[in-house]
Amino acid sequence: MGLRAVIDDDIPVAAGVYTAFMFKDKAILWNELPVNTEGGPLEFDRKPRQGHGGGVTEMVARRHFVPRVPGTRFLDASTAGEFATDAELALAANWDRTASSVKHMTFIALKTTEA
């Protein structure tokens, strides 16, 4: 198997430095958060006159999933609301590395310049 070139015109560039990200298998995992809505995660709505007189029961199920990157921790002390905004998520100061070394991280930023 020979070398393969990857050409992508969408890689961000700043001051002539291109930043691409490489991910290991299972680099991003999902956690489920509790649903804190009135009535809980399940809600039922009974409509007795529908269904040709037999009635219809509708069930709504709510689930909240958030992505997480192993080896990192979000420091939510600076979030203004219940959930972080995109701008708050983008701030490096809101993140802490919990992995003992960058070698144990599940992704890397690959910075290159044009040759």
C-alpha gyration radius of the chain: 23
Query: What per-residue confidence (pLDDT) applies to 78?
Result: 77
CA distance 19 to 14: 8
Break the chain down into helix, strand, coil percent, rounded to 5: 10, 40, 50
Q: What is the pLDDT of residue 40?
A: 76
Annotate 27-55 with DSSP letters as a single string.
-SEEEEEPP-STT-SEEEEEETT-TTTT-
Report the pLDDT value the prediction gives residue 55, as an integer from 0 to 100.
Answer: 93
pLDDT at 57 over 90: yes
Q: Are 16 and 113 in contact (CB under 8 A)?
A: yes
Instruction: Please provide the average confidence, as pLDDT, over all residues in the chain.
Output: 85
Burial 83-103 (b: 16+ CB within 10 A, else e): ebeeebeeeeebeeeeeeeee
